[in-house]
Amino acid sequence: MSTFPAERTAIVTGAVSERGIGRATVNYLAAQGWNIGIIDLDDALCKSTAKEIAAEYGVQAYGVGANVADEASVRSAIDTLEAELPQIVALANVAGVSSPIGYLELEPAEWNRVLNINLNGVHYATRRVAESMVKNRIGRIVNISSVSAQRGGGTFSKTPYSVAKAGVIGLTRATARELGEYDITVNAISPGPIDTDIMGGTLSQERKDELTKDLVVNRVGSTRDIAAAIAFLISEDSGYISGQTLNVDGGLYMH
């Protein structure tokens, strides 16, 4: 069983939005003693968020602006984080965009935008951190998919989103298979309805009640629910779990 170094870093993409899963994840992991690498679009916001995290939790944190849809930008950002922080042990691919456009109104540019960010972005970040993890022979990668991939939509976002998030599950399984021999695990989390802005803005109580009707628990999810699941899957104790998709969805999709 491979053990983690005493000082370890988790990189989180899409981590600056106050109400987002990425930001909740960064807070949760920093509270557990992880050093934090932040990647998001706005470099200044990444740096200020990292400063806040370091001050609040007493860990090392560093932020770099990058567009996950641009491979050179992602590689450069991770190079910088690796130079500034302790060994990269974990990556949480959280960055993503929603897309509520109906299939018959869908333009090629929207299709490409959603797949480039939600699927290619996961690949680009994974591909780069895998190089370092293989060298160190330890790693944990967690990708955010969606119940939308498993149910064919039926959520706020429609076809290109579902396709990209289904691709994330395929990418998770294939990379888990290829990277396993280096003691790297790769898993996906499939959230159900979570109260974030990706659901089309802050959810009203009425909308929450409507969404809860489909669940077996009596509330929609919080960003902390997902952060806790990410923390579990990147923990030292989760080394025998790989290639899996963990649904954190209030029982919306049972499989």
Give me the active site residues, please. 161
Please list the helix, strand and coil fractions of the chain in percent, rounded to the nearest 5, in that order. 50, 15, 35
DSSP letters, 175-193, are HHHHHGGGTEEEEEEEE-S
Tokens linked to 132: 């370092």
Report how far residue 210's alpha carbon sits from residue 154's, in angstroms, rounded to the nearest whole number: 13
Residue 244 and residue 15: Cα distance in Å, rounded?
23
CA–CA separation, 253 and 103 (whole Å): 23
How many other C-beta atoms can be found within 10 angstroms of the C-beta atom of residue 133? 24
In whole angstroms, give the CA distance from residue 183 to residue 57: 29
